[in-house]
């Protein structure tokens, strides 16, 4: 595969989310071309929605910000003092509240609470398929551009660290491993990535993989 066929342009990213967003509307940020590497294959099946009495609707913000002239994903490391998923890597996000009128509103509200992102610095591109957790969460990943002028301020009660991962890194299939664990009689398999000193796995890794596959089509 030649280099030209492996490059995703600015307009390609927008088109893949079937949105009418124009990059001219983003005043302080642009997504540069990225090398997506070879096509993805041998993907794990997405967890399907199973029958249960209720699902907790949630949303996460999958934000792309320009850094060192290349697009990066914004991620957080949760604090060790949290009762659930402490110390894990996650997108900003959380449960939908009664005041939220959309998944985007949930994602933006949570991102403002966790990393101090002001909503006006975010331009939505689209959404990924729901991710269903074994604990009953129905998570909608909301994808968009974060303008370069945005400032991040972590909420020390929830976030230990805010960091970014190059989009080119997550678009390379070689950076993914499949980990299998046995829980009782059930064997579970999930994606994992290691970037710098961060180990990304589970729901977050699955949503990153979903984004990568979407952009690599």
Question: How deeply is 122 buried, as exposed, middle or buried, from its count of CB atoms within 10 A (0-12, 13-18, 19+)?
Answer: buried
Strands (E), 84-155: 89-90, 93-95, 122-127, 131-132, 137-146
**Do 127 and 168 meet the contact criterion of CB atoms below 8 Å apart?**
no
Report the alpha-carbon distance of residue 125 to residue 197 in Å, rounded: 29
pLDDT tier at 3, thresholds 50, 70, 90: very low
Across 127-135, average pLDDT: 89
Report the alpha-carbon distance of residue 67 to residue 148 in Å, rounded: 8
Report the alpha-carbon distance of residue 73 to residue 95 in Å, rounded: 21
pLDDT at 148: 84
Whole-model pTM over 0.85 = no
More confident residue, 14 or 5: 14
Domains along the chain? 3-25+48-169+206-215 (3.90.79.10)
pLDDT at 135: 80
Strands 137-146, 56-67: parallel, antiparallel or unpaired by DSSP? parallel
**Do 113 and 123 meet the contact criterion of CB atoms below 8 Å apart?**
no
User: In this predicted model, what pLDDT tens digit does every residue of 51-82 receive, in sequence order?
Assistant: 655 788 999 999 999 888 788 999 999 887 86
């Amino acid at each position: 595969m030649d280099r030209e066929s492996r490059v995703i342009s600015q307009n390609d990213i927008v088109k893949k989310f079937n949105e009418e967003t124009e990059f001219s509307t983003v005043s302080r940020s642009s997504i540069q071309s990225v090398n997506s590497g070879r096509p993805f294959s041998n993907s794990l099946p997405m967890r399907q929605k199973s029958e249960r009495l209720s699902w907790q609707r949630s949303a996460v913000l999958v934000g792309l910000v320009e850094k060192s002239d290349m697009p990066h994903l914004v991620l957080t490391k949760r604090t060790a003092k949290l009762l659930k998923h402490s110390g894990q890597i996650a997108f900003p996000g959380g449960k939908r509240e009664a005041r939220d009128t959309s998944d985007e509103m949930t994602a933006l509200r949570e991102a403002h609470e966790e990393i101090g992102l002001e909503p006006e610095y975010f331009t939505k591109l689209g959404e990924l398929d729901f991710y269903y957790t074994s604990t009953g969460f129905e998570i909608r990943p909301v994808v968009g551009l974060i303008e370069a002028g945005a400032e991040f301020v972590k909420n020390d009660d929830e976030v230990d660290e805010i960091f970014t991962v190059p989009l080119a890194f997550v678009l390379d299939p070689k950076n993914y491993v499949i980990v299998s664990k046995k829980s009782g009689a059930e064997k579970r398999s999930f994606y994992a990535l290691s970037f710098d000193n961060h180990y990304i796995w589970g729901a977050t890794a699955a949503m990153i993989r979903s984004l990568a596959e979407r952009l690599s089509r």
